[in-house]
Structure 1
């Protein structure tokens, strides 16, 4: 499902105009990205937790060039689904 499909689905199920739903969803996504990018954890009960995950500096190998490379320490967004979310998707 793409963002536009989600917007239409929410508009249909709530009876709210598509333009208003689009504004709310885009604002929610923007604030979610801003929060995680600023090092905060976002917890949504029944859905999951979004947080920045820290990876230490490590030495790896480029197998195509057969050389050692250093991967700097960095953060990536990490999503951990809630238990109820996991249970609903277990038997797809």
Structure 2
């Protein structure tokens, strides 16, 4: 599913216009990105948690030459699915409706 398909599904299931569904998704994504960028954790019950995670400096390999390269420490976004989401996926997508 891409963003346009998600917008269409949201609009159909919530009786929103496609414009308002798009705005709602854009606002949600922007708020999650902003919070995680500021070092905060965002938890959506039943879905999962978005949080910043520290990645330590390490030595990698240039795939073209095989030469070792230094990779700097950084912070990356991390998503951890909630128990309900994880269970639904484990049951091969069988969603109770």
User: Is TM (by shorter chain) over 0.5?
Assistant: yes
Aligned length: 92
Distance across 2 between alignment mates of 1:72 and 1:78: 18
Cα pair distance change 1:73/1:91, threshold 3 Å: same
Structure 1 residue ranges (4+ consecutive) displaced by more than 2 angstroms after TM superposition: 60-64
Provide the rounded CA distance (Å) in 2 between the counterparts of 1:23 and 1:11. 11
Structure 2 stretches lacking a partner, 5+ long: 93-97
Query: Which residue of 2 is the match for residue 9 of structure 1?
Result: 9
Q: CA deviation at 1:7?
A: 0.9
Q: Give the Cα separation in 2 of the matches to 1:20 and 1:82.
A: 27
Counterpart in the other structure of 1:41? 41
TM-score of the superposed pair, with normalisation by structure 2: 0.87
Task: Please report the TM-score for the alignment, with normalisation by the length of structure 1.
Answer: 0.91
Report the RMSD for the aligned CA atoms in angstroms. Answer: 1.2
Other structure's SS at 1:59 match:
strand
